[in-house]
Amino acid sequence: MGNTCRGSFGSRHHHPTHPKPSSNRRSCSSTSSSSDDDDTPKPAPPAASVTTVAVVMRRGIDPAGAGAGVSCHVLGHPTPNIRDLYALGRKLGQGQFGTTYLCTELATGAEYACKSITKRKLISKEDLEDVRREIQILHHLSGHKNIVTIKGAYEDSLCVHIVMELCGGGELFDRIIERGHYSERKAAELIRIIVGVVEACHSLGVMHRDLKPENFLLVNKEDDSSLKLIDFGLSVFFKPGQIFTDVVGSPYYVAPEVLCKQYGPEADVWTAGVILYILLSGVPPFWAETQQGIFDAVLKGVIDFDTDPWPLISDSAKDLIRKMLCSPPSARLTAHQVLSHPWIREQGVASDRALNPAVLSRLKQFSAMNKLKKMALRVIAESLSEEEIAGLREMFTAMDTDNSGAITFDELKAGLRRYGSTLKDTEIRDLMEAADVDNSGTIDYGEFIAATIHLNKLEREEHLVAAFSYFDKDGSGYITVDELQQACKEHNMTDVILEDIIKEADQDNDGRIDYGEFVAMMRRGTMGLGRRTMRNTLNISMRDGGF
C-alpha cells in the first residue's frame, strides 16, 4: 500500500549487493579499497549519477540470468484462499505488476485494501525476496500507531495478495493545503510523528529508504494523529554498523551518502530533514531542472535559508534542519536526538503564528506536479511489455563480446549498429560518457541499462507520446483543463486543483499543455522508471481511490 512510482528509483534487488558490517564509511570521492578483513581488497563503489540510478536494473533482471515468471509458492507455504475470507470489491487501480482492490472481510464486514501482485511478473529470485521481505517488515513493525497495519498475506496460483489497513483520509500535503492555517507548530507536530516512526523502525532494525510526504496517508481527515507510513517496498533489515551500497530512494529526498553508495540508517534522518524543509517552505532544499542537477545539489549540500519564507522562520527550526541535513552521517542527529530537539518537542518553542501563504501555494504546486506525473507514469508503466524489459539482459550479453562484464566503446558502437541504431559516433561517445559513471572507460551492466533507456528516449519516444495521447483525448495536440478533469476522474483523483496542474507545466501561459511542455515537465527532476517503480504503479491507486 503506497506509492513509489512518484519518485523512487532503483531497488536493492536490481543488481543485488550483499552489504557487510563495517564502521568505515568513505567519502563520496573515495576510490580506495575496503579495509574489511577478507584478503581481496574491494574498490569503493562509484558515486551514482542520473544515468545509473534512474532505471537501475529495471525489474530486477540480473545479467547472470534470472529465470522466467514464477509459478511456485512465493510465500514459501500454502495459505487460505483469500476469497474464502474476503470479498474483493471494485478495482481501485491497475499497475504494471498487479491490481489494487477494495476488499471486505466476510466475517466482520470491515473494509481493507488488497494489493494483488501478479506472480508471472516476478521474474527473478530478487523479485520474490522483495515481496517476502516487504511482508516480513510489515509484520515486524505491526502495532505501531503510525505505521500501516497488515491484515494478512495470501497466495493463489496467480497472485500474492497483501491485505492492509484502509487509509481514507488522503495525503499529508493535501491535508495541509485543505486546512489553510499552517504554522511552525503544526509542522513540528507532523515531523514529530514522522521522525517517531523513523525511530521506531531503526530501533527494530528496519531502514525505510524511501520516506517522502506521498508515503504518509491519513486514516481519516479529522485526525492528524492518524498519519500512517505506507509502502515498505524498498525497506531492509539492518544490523548496527552495516553498510549498504545499492542506490535507492527518490531524488529530492535522497541522502548524499546513498548517492555515494556507502550508507546506513542515518539516510532516513536526512530524508526526514528534507521533508521538514518542504513542510516549512513548500519547496525541496535541493532543487534543479534535471535529476542529475538534483543529485549535484544534494552532494554539495548548500541549504537556502535566505529567500522567502526563511527570514521569518525561527532560528530553532533552521538549527534542527541543519543538524538533520548534515552531510557527514556521523555528525547527523539520530532520530532519537531529533525528537529531543527544543523545536520539535511537545510544548516546544515552535511558533503557532501562521506561515506565509506563499508556502501553501508552493506546496500546492509541488503536489500538483506530482499528481500529473503520477498519472503519466502509470500510463507509461502499463505500456512496457515484459519482453521489452527482459530483452535488455540479452542485449548486454550480446554486446559484451569478450564476456568481461563491461562494455567498451567499440563493443557499444558495434552492438548498437547490430540493433539498428543510426546514432553517430559522437552521439554514441556522448552516450557512453554519460553512462560511464566511474570514468573507467567501460559500461557495466547497471550503467548499460540506464544508457539503453536513454537511447529509447533519444530515438523512440512512444512511451511519452502514449502518455500524452492518453490525456489529449481529442487529439488536438494540447491537454486542456477538461481533459485533465476526465483523466482525474478515470484515476479516481478527487480534490485536485486542475489549474495548479496546468500552471506547473504551462510554460507559455496559454492555459493548456502542449507536447513539448509535457515532456519538459516529465523530465524535470525525473524520478526514473525502475523495476520497483513499475511494480508500485499499482499502489498509486490506493491513494487515488480514496486511500
pLDDT in tens, 404-453: 888 888 887 887 676 555 667 776 776 676 556 456 788 776 555 544 54
**42 part of a folded domain:** no
- Residue 312 DSSP label: G
For residues 271 and 207, is the Cβ–Cβ distance under 8 A?
Answer: no
Which CATH number goes with the domain that contains 428? 1.10.238.10
485 or 108, which is more confident: 108
For residues 50 and 295, is the Cβ–Cβ distance under 8 A?
Answer: yes
**496 part of a folded domain:** no
**158 part of a folded domain:** yes
Number of independent structural domains in the chain: 2
**20 part of a folded domain:** no
End residue of a domain, out of 164, 183, 206: 164
Mean predicted lDDT score pLDDT of the chain? 74
The answer to whether 239 is a known ligand-binding residue is no
Closest CA to 517 of 526, 505, 528: 505
pTM for the full predicted model:
0.62
Question: Does residue 252 surpass a pLDDT of 90?
Answer: yes
Question: How far apart are alpha carbons 225 and 499 in whole angstroms?
Answer: 30
Q: What is the pLDDT of residues 343-382, one digit of tens each?
A: 998 766 676 666 656 665 655 566 565 667 767 765 664 5
What per-residue confidence (pLDDT) applies to 377? 60
What per-residue confidence (pLDDT) applies to 112? 92
Average pLDDT, stretch 251-263? 96
Distances (CA, A) of 413 to 26, 34, 416: 35, 34, 5
The catalytic residue among 174, 210, 400, 514 is: 210
For residues 366 and 358, is the Cβ–Cβ distance under 8 A?
Answer: no
Phi, psi of 178 (to 5 degrees): -65, -35
Closest CA to 168 of 230, 87, 107, 234: 230
Closest CA to 212 of 250, 182, 184: 250
Which CATH number goes with the domain that contains 86? 3.30.200.20
What is the percentage of the chain residues whose pLDDT exceeds 90? Answer: 31
Question: How far apart are alpha carbons 164 and 115 in whole angstroms?
Answer: 8
**494 part of a folded domain:** no
- Residue 492 identity (one-letter amino acid): N
Annotation says 210 is catalytic: yes
**226 part of a folded domain:** no
End residue of a domain, out of 459, 478, 503: 459
Q: How many CB atoms lie within 10 A of CB 41?
A: 10
For residues 45 and 245, is the Cβ–Cβ distance under 8 A?
Answer: yes
**406 part of a folded domain:** yes
**404 part of a folded domain:** yes
Q: Which residues constitute the domain of residue 452?
A: 386-459
For residues 489 and 17, is the Cβ–Cβ distance under 8 A?
Answer: no
End residue of a domain, out of 164, 191, 218: 164
